Structure formats: structure tokens, C-alpha cells
Amino acid sequence: MKSGDFAAASGLRLCSRDLMKFGMLYRNKGVWNNHQLISSRWVEASFVQRIAFPSKAVDASDYYGYQFWIWPDTIKGNQLKMISAIGNGGQLINWNPENDIIIVITAGNYNEWIPGKDSYALARNEIYPVLLSSD
């Protein structure tokens, strides 16, 4: 907020550990340390596909819920549902509910997004294949 104006859509600065806590809060349907911090109904509603967009990242459509991107993807022959909170610069919380995998990536590529060379591409091409490997 250098200009004195608030930026409601951006400006939150979190470290990887805090991003993971946020991901775990939603994974646990709004419960943290045995306390319901967010309504479980809100969490479920957040992951409903509300708006469809042609995807630039996968061979399907991207959908937007309440502050979360939702899309299908195929990695190593596995059909997966991906849920992501994506921030400027490559900040990413990505959750695959079927395999109960949450990946957090922090990066500094601010104001530039290159499909196929972003943090989701890193997760999709390098991290998920290792985690989904049955070897």
C-alpha cells in the first residue's frame, strides 16, 4: 500500500508454512485445532464450479469457485481434480482431494504468467508424478 490505497485483491504476504495452514484449514472443512473457524458449508461452496474459462494450463476447462480455481487434470494416467488458490508471482496452494495431496509453492515471478512455465507446471510436471508414482 505505497500509494495509500488498499488493494483488496492482493497484498497479503504469507510464507510457505502459512499457505500450508490455509490449505489444511480448507482440507479439514474449516476446522483448525478442533475449532470450527470457517463454516464447513462455506468451504464446500467454495469448491463448486461456478464460472467456466477455457484453460491455458490443461486440456480441459478451468472453473472458478469462491476464490479457488477448480479443474480436472490427468497426470501419469490418473484423472485428478485440482483445487488451487493462486496468487501473483506464482504463489500456489494446490490440493488434490482424491490423493489427499497439498502442494504449496512460493515464487517471485510477479506480474508475469507464462502458461507451462508457472508454479502449477512445476507441480504438474515434477512434483505430482513423483508423489503419484507406485514404484
Q: What is the pTM of this model?
A: 0.82
Q: What is the pLDDT of residues 6-42, one digit of tens each?
A: 665 666 778 999 999 999 999 999 999 999 999 999 9
Whether 61 is in a domain gets the answer yes
Q: DSSP assignment, residue 126?
A: I
Q: What is the pLDDT of residues 86-103, one digit of tens each?
A: 888 888 999 999 999 999
Question: What's the number of domains the chain is made of?
Answer: 1
Better pLDDT: 45 or 54: 45
pLDDT at 53: 81
pLDDT at 1: 47
Whether 6 is in a domain gets the answer no
pLDDT at 116: 77
| CATH number reported for the structural domain that contains residue 50 in this entry | 3.40.710.10
Query: Are the beta carbons of 57 and 121 closer than 8 angstroms?
Result: yes
